[in-house]
Amino acid sequence: MTPDLAINICRKAIQTILMISAPMLLAGLLIGLLVSTFQAATQINEQTLSFIPKIVAVFLTLLFFGPWIIHIMTTFTIGLFETMITL
């Protein structure tokens, strides 16, 4: 295995991780922003108030994007195995 091939595999792995995690992170970020705005407007300073909506949003996003995530992971894994065969 050449260093260029190893770097390329690592780059693709990091790119895949970022692509897969982005929808859940964005959903958590948006819900957190909405809850924080609500807390600032109503002056409710409960720190645990934001956890349940974030968890629900992340799980719903995971359910919605689940098939896409599985497709991306399967494509990456098959490509990795095909690369390993040619070594």
Q: Which range has the worst mean pLDDT, 32-36, 43-47, 63-67?
A: 43-47
> 4 to each of 9, 10, 11, 28, 58, how far by Cα in Å?
9, 10, 10, 36, 36
Could you give the CA distance from residue 40 to residue 66 in angstroms, rounded to a whole number?
A: 33
- Per-residue pLDDT band at 43 (split at 50, 70, 90): confident
How do the domains of the chain map onto residue ranges? Answer: 28-39+49-87
Average pLDDT over residues 32-46: 88
pLDDT at 44: 83
pLDDT at 71: 97
- Per-residue pLDDT band at 49 (split at 50, 70, 90): confident
Could you give the CA distance from residue 28 to residue 54 in angstroms, rounded to a whole number?
A: 5
